Structure 1
Amino acid sequence: MPVRCSYASSQHPPDTCEGEPVSEPDDFPHRIVDPKPAEATRIASVNVNGIRAAARKGMGEWLASREVDILALQEVRATPDVLSKVVTEFAEQAGAEDPDSQWHVHDHEAAHKGRAGVAILSRKAPVETRTRIGDDRPEDDGRWIEADYEIGDGSLLTVVSVYAHSGEVGTPRQDHKMRFLQYMSEHLPQLAQRSDHVLVLGDLNVGHTKLDIKNWKGNVKNSGFLPEERAFFDTFFGDAGYVDVARSLAGEVDGPYTWWSYRGKAFDNDTGWRIDYHMATPELAGRAVNPQVDRAADYSMRWSDHAPLVVDYNLP
């Protein structure tokens, strides 16, 4: 059974997290019991590390139990047809009477097959979707999608699913990553001006502070924790006006981490990175409650190297 690590208890190891979920039968090892408040909109984000592999390993069970209204996916690595088929199977697994109507699926497939790819799944149809940050920017291929939703008071909520480059110091991959982060720093203020509320979800492949990486001292010269990368996040959460939702609710505590290497004992020892974010405009951030990292109970039950980050928003 997955362990539901709340941000309020993030200083504890995963096996002592407060507010653990109710046990489910062994037939459903990936399910989590965490009833959604009636007034809340539940929004989740996860890097699936390949949607087909995640589905085979148990993602559908997790999704069926989580009452998610909007789900941002990164590293989908599948064609639109394959993604739609997998999502339909998720709906069938959940016992939906009409699987085709359960999720509205919008994606941005990368030009290079088997790489990147982002998507937004929602129970409600968006009024508009857009891909890419700007024109003639190959660095954002398969890495950015926006969807606009009209919410209860008639205002506009823009949701983004983003997958930043992992980068590698001294290679073109790092150059691509830095350009992509620069594009984000230019686009985010514009997005906040055109929409009433903005929520940027995804794997940004950077730990902002020392609290976001277990072994930060060993990574100060590695991609993911470089000073020049982290400076962009100072801008995102400074002049650009966005709020790091999970961190604002957690306070100054370690993690909780959202990514662990498959190598060695990183997962077992909770030697992780917090590189998955909910970045919100201030009013929207003020409506966020109950942030959870849905960390698997043990290594064998992981369906991705990332864990979903789930937050409830009390939208009008």
Structure 2
Amino acid sequence: MPSRRTLRIATVNVNGIRAAYRRGMAAWLDERGVDILAIQEVRASTDDLTGLLGDSWDVLHDAATTKGRAGVALASRGKASIHRVALGDDDFDTAGRWLEADYEVDGSIVTVVSAYVPSGEAGTEKQVYKYRFLDAMDARMKALPQHSELAAVMGDLNIGHRTLDIKNWKGNVKRAGFLPEERAYLDKLMGAEDDEKYNDGAGYGWVDVGRKWAGEVDGPYSWWTWRGQAFDNDTGWRIDYQLATPKLAEKVVDYHVDKAASYDERWSDHTPVVVDYAL
């Protein structure tokens, strides 16, 4: 990993990386100075991914079991020392949804996770799968700080945590993505480590970098449907996160949501979330 004053980490759901590149993702990436890029919904082969990104990136890719679906990746300017894809029980297929890697940065080990939580659908088997995934994610995020004090879990978590995170939250209280049971998972992940209100003890202490940086304001949103005037009216959802361990969160010096200047300039229905960490 190149030595620099800050480590710039970005996350984005590309909604199919080949389509994103056709629409202009390459220009954004060339200009943004990213050191580590977490990608979700790759929906392409590893050869496609490496071919588009180019030789200057070291690429890790966990493709989905079903071709053309999901897929997560981590691209970096230096090689990871180790990476892992296992999450939950051996019989639980999370392929294409969880990829974590350790990077050495100026003598410190930084762990980065690219995560893509299933979208779910209330009252269906899709929601059952989503809760099973969230259970596995909960267990891993409880243990992860013991592996690395400098860790960040990022990506499309497909949950709006608070009413501030969805423009039309009143119309979505019974829909997947804003169900109370889903939001409770994020409550626990970000709950204080000395808060005993949870059934099995305190919260895990992860810091929502975006909310801490933006404060108590609506958004800033990271996803807008392609349909209608949602983008122009900023009727969006904040479902793309960077969650950092407390020690890493202390090192945040900048946070930015790279919303396109106009609808025509969008290259995904999500937008990148970019954070600078001073290590």
The aligned residue for residue 112 of structure 2 is 159
Q: Does 2:123 match 1:192?
A: no
Find the aligned partners of 1:140 and 1:113 in 2 and give their Cα distance.
14
Matches within 5 A, 1:1-316: 39-88=5-54, 100=55, 102-152=56-106, 154-238=107-191, 239-315=203-279
Give, as a single letter, the amino acid of the residue that structure 2 aligns with 1:147: A
Give, as a single letter, the amino acid of the residue that structure 2 aligns with 1:121: A
Classify the secondary structure of the residue corresponding to 1:138.
coil
Task: List alignment gaps of at least 5 residues for structure 2.
Answer: 192-202
Find the aligned partners of 1:53 and 1:202 in 2 and give their Cα distance.
19
Classify the secondary structure of the residue corresponding to 1:176.
helix
Give, as a single letter, the amino acid of the residue that structure 2 aligns with 1:169: A
Classify the secondary structure of the residue corresponding to 2:254.
strand
Q: Is the 8 A contact 2:159 2:183 kept in 1?
A: yes
Find the aligned partners of 1:225 and 1:140 in 2 and give their Cα distance.
22
Classify the secondary structure of the residue corresponding to 2:241.
strand
Q: Is the 8 A contact 2:102 2:109 kept in 1?
A: yes
TM-score normalized by the length of structure 1: 0.82
Task: List alignment gaps of at least 5 residues for structure 1.
Answer: 1-37, 89-99
CA RMSD of aligned residues (A): 1.0
Q: Is the 8 A contact 1:132 1:143 kept in 2?
A: no
Q: Is the 8 A contact 2:149 2:248 kept in 1?
A: no
Residues 12-53 of structure 1: CA distance to partner in whole angstroms, max 9, x if unpaired? xxxxxxxxxxxxxxxxxxxxxxxxxx5111110000000000
Q: CA deviation at 1:139?
A: 4.4
Structure 1 residue ranges, 4+ long, deviating more than 3 angstroms after superposition: none
TM-score normalized by the length of structure 2: 0.93
Q: Is the 8 A contact 2:74 2:99 kept in 1?
A: yes
Classify the secondary structure of the residue corresponding to 2:168.
coil
Give, as a single letter, the amino acid of the residue that structure 2 aligns with 1:106: L
Q: CA deviation at 1:58?
A: 0.1
Find the aligned partners of 1:65 and 1:197 in 2 and give their Cα distance.
26
Q: Is the 8 A contact 1:148 1:157 kept in 2?
A: yes
How many positions carry a matched residue from both structures? 265
Q: Is the 8 A contact 1:185 1:240 kept in 2?
A: no
Q: CA deviation at 1:151?
A: 2.2
Q: CA deviation at 1:144?
A: 0.4
Q: Is the 8 A contact 1:127 1:148 kept in 2?
A: yes
Classify the secondary structure of the residue corresponding to 2:100.
strand
Classify the secondary structure of the residue corresponding to 1:295.
coil
